[in-house]
Each structure stands twice: as C-alpha cells, then as structure tokens.
C-alpha cells in the first residue's frame, strides 16, 4: 500500500462508522499519522437508513465522504480498500490494495446482519445493513406497486403489496411504521387504482414484545402506535424459511409475500488474524479490556459494535448502537494522548444517554434514565438527536428540509426507482 512518509507513529483505523469517524477527526490533531481504511468512501448514518428504504430521504443526505472528514489533511490518509487480515506479530495489515505496517491498529469494523446460521434466509431475504441494500428495498417496493397496477387479481395485488418483516427491534419497528405511513400518505395519491388496504405490513418477532431491548413501558407504547398505524404485529413467532414467496414460521402462521425483509439482529464483523480465544464466539465481537485494547494484544484496539467490553453493569457488553462507538472513540483518543506522554491510561465508563425509536409522525418512544417518554415529545426529541449526530452541515440542512416538507405534505419525495432490483433464483430459491 502506498502511503505518504511520516516521522510520526502510524495509527490505522479500519472502518468509517461512528467510532472510526470520531477517532479520525480527533486523533489527527495529535503527533500521529492517521490512516483510515474502509471498503466504502463514505460514512453511512445508519439510524436514518430506513428512511432511504421507504422513500423518505435520498442516500446522499445520510452519507458523508470520508475524505472530507478532516480539513487539515497533513497527517490524515484515507484508502479505499477491503481489509483481509491482520498479522499481529509483524504489525501488518493485509488489504485488497496491498499490505501496510502499523504502530497502532484500531478496529472499528462494526456489525453485520445476524441470520443465526440460516443461510437459506440469508440468500432469500431483503436486508438493510448498507445503502445499496436500502435502495434495493425502496426499488423493489415501488416495482411491486407498479406491477400491482397491471393485474385485476386482488389476491395477486395483495401478494405484491404485502410486506413482511422479521425482527421487531428498532430497525423492524421503524421500517414497519414508515411503510404504514407510506401506505397512508403516498399510496392513495400515486396509485389511485390500487386499494390501500391490500398493502399489509406484518411485523414478526420471536420474543413476547416489540423493542425487547427497551423498557416494558416503551414496548407497550410502541405496540400501540404500530397497531394504530395498521401494522399487524405477530409476537412469539420466529421465521424458519422463505421460499417461493412463502414465509413459514415455528407456529401454524405462514404468509405469502413478495417482499420479505430480515431485521432480526446483528453480530460483530471481525477480520481474521486475531486469535479465536479473544473473540466471543456467540456475538463475534472482540474481547477488550476497559481501555478498548483487545485482550492479548498491546497495540491493537477495538471500538463500537465489534468491541465486547464486559463490566459489572454491562456483563454482555455495551449495546451495539452509535453512542458506545462515539464515546469509546473519544475516550480512546484521550488515552492516546496519555500514551504519547507516558501517562497512565484511564478506564472507559459508558454514559447511557437513553434509547429511542420512532414509529411514525408524532409517534416515538424514548427511555431516558428511569423515565419513558412517548408520543410527540419523544418524536421531536428523536428528530433533534438524529439531526445533531448527522455528519456534515449540508446533510443536517437537507434532512431537516425533507422532514419539514414530509410533515406538512404527507409526502415521500424520494420515491424513485433509480436502480431496479431483480430477485434471482438461487438453488431453487428466490433472492
């Protein structure tokens, strides 16, 4: 890998998510050469990706070019590459554009969709872990609506318009609510020849409540909002298979649908080279100490979703959401300052700012400390928090204007089939 020469120690950051962005912006101010590597040239604001999938936002409003993170680029280098493995003894990283030496390595590779070992579901379902996947969902939903206008068979229209989601965590709940609002606000105007009641949204989950990671009060409120929007919620129901447009479960419930979206959780996204004993096999996250150093390695760190830091308060690690990544990134920067000065490192302490999820217009839930907020107050809080953490002034402005327009016009301006999505048959299954 070709990199500029530098007299400073080299820190390589793998991953341009929340942790990688925080680290890049702050570490570059130290006497270090900061090298950021990602397989994409942009940071993707994942909490708003569901709005791309449901025609609320265009992808460029939630993405930010990684080369634009730092104004002073003297000590900052970005390389577009896929990382294959790390050689800890040689202190070398192997990538698709060659190998590179490091003094310090920070892994911020995030997470990937968890299919719990079901490769058939992985092949057949729609997913939403990347911008291209979100665009696939948007295109396929709109393509099916267009196809529904070409037939008078109401049952075929129902199959084309029906959307089934597996997983009632924040992603599934927010997607379901957004689809329901699309049905209410867009469908009657854009498709007057289609019956909106045929666009059914079914949300399935194996647990006994939606938003199981949040408080019971938040779950109850969220379920009430979903039902008010006309979402069919099926609890204690686990999807077993999806073949020939038929969703089958561990119960007697099965349903035909052309659109099946998997949103049932995530696992870590490790790279090879770190010894297996330092990786939690269930969650696929690196075991790190309270300084975010991977256990067994002096100069290799991990932050965010990929880091499993077990503490008394968080015995299973911190939540796999944005805040731990941001806070761990910022704390690791402060510890790098101490390292460079030969001072003692400080342990990381997570400040839980709460959890929130939006279900639709004026409908959201938020757990803040011992309190649970719901309705319009939680919704406006959700809007403000997400605007604040968006990367880039332009993105904040564009998203704010889109939200304002959508709020007053009940519209989804980004309902465009830019790149048609085609299901392909794989081993007799539809993908």
Q: Which residues are catalytic?
A: 174
Q: Say how far apart CA 362 and CA 106 lie, in whole Å.
A: 40
What would you report as the CA-atom Rg of the chain, rounded to the nearest whole angstrom?
A: 22
Under DSSP, the state recorded for 343 is: P
Strands (E), 39-75: 42-44, 63-65
246-249: strand order across its sheet: 239-243, 246-249, 254-256
Burial code (b: 16+ CB inside 10 Å, e: under 16) for 203-224 equals bbbbbebbbebbbeebbbbbbe
150 within 8 A of 161, measured Cβ to Cβ: no
In three-state secondary structure terms, 123 is helix
Q: Say how far apart CA 350 and CA 400 lie, in whole Å.
A: 29
Joined together, the tokens standing for residue 122 give 């992985």
Cβ neighbours for 39, distance < 8 A, ≥ 6 positions apart? 80, 81, 82, 83
Strand 163-166 versus strand 111-113 pairing type: unpaired
Joined together, the tokens standing for residue 93 give 């990283």
Under DSSP, the state recorded for 166 is: E
Q: Say how far apart CA 226 and CA 176 lie, in whole Å.
A: 8
Q: Say how far apart CA 14 and CA 37 lie, in whole Å.
A: 5
Joined together, the tokens standing for residue 353 give 């700012």
∠ at Cα 312 (307, 315), nearest 5°?
45
Q: Say how far apart CA 232 and CA 365 lie, in whole Å.
A: 19
In three-state secondary structure terms, 267 is strand
CA-closest candidate to residue 304, choices 336, 273, 355, 350: 350
Strands (E), 56-110: 63-65, 76-80, 83-87, 92-95, 98-101, 104-107
Joined together, the tokens standing for residue 225 give 């909002």
């Amino acid at each position: 890998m070709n990199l500029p020469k530098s007299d400073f120690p080299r820190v390589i950051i793998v991953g341009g998510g929340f942790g990688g962005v925080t680290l890049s912006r702050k570490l570059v101010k130290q006497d270090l050469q900061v090298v950021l590597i990602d397989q994409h040239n942009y940071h993707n604001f994942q909490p708003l990706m569901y709005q791309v999938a449901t025609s609320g936002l265009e992808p460029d409003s939630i993405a930010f070019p990684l080369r634009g993170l730092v104004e002073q680029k003297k000590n900052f280098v970005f390389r577009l590459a896929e990382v294959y493995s790390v050689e800890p003894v040689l202190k070398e990283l192997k990538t698709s554009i060659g190998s590179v030496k490091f003094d310090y390595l920070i892994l911020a590779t995030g997470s990937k969709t968890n299919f719990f070992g079901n490769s058939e579901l992985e092949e057949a379902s729609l997913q939403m872990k990347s911008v291209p996947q979100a665009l696939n969902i948007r295109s396929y939903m709109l393509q099916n609506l267009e196809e529904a206008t070409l037939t008078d068979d109401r049952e075929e229209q129902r199959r084309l318009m029906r959307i089934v989601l597996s997983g009632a965590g924040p992603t599934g709940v927010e997607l379901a609510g957004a689809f329901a609002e699309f049905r209410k606000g867009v469908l009657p105007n854009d498709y007057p020849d289609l019956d909106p009641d045929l666009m059914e949204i079914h949300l399935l989950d194996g647990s006994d409540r939606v938003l199981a990671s949040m408080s019971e009060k938040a779950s109850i409120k969220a379920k009430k909002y979903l039902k008010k929007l006309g979402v069919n919620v099926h609890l204690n129901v686990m999807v077993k298979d999806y073949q020939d447009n038929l969703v089958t479960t561990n119960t007697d419930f099965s349903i035909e649908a052309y659109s099946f979206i998997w949103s049932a959780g995530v696992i870590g996204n490790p790279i090879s080279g770190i010894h297996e004993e330092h990786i939690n096999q269930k969650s696929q996250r690196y075991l790190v100490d309270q300084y975010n150093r991977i256990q067994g390695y002096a100069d290799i760190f991990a932050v965010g979703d990929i880091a499993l830091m077990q503490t008394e308060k968080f015995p299973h690690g911190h939540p796999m959401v944005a805040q731990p990544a941001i806070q761990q990134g910022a704390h690791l920067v402060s510890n790098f300052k101490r390292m460079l000065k030969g001072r003692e490192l400080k342990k990381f302490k997570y400040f839980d700012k709460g959890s929130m999820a939006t279900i639709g217009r004026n409908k959201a839930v938020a757990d803040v400390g011992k309190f649970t907020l719901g309705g319009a107050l939680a919704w406006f809080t959700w809007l403000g928090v997400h605007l604040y953490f968006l990367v880039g002034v332009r993105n904040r402005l564009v998203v704010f204007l889109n939200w304002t327009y959508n709020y007053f016009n009940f519209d989804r301006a980004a309902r465009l089939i830019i790149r048609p999505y085609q299901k392909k048959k794989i081993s007799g299954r539809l993908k």
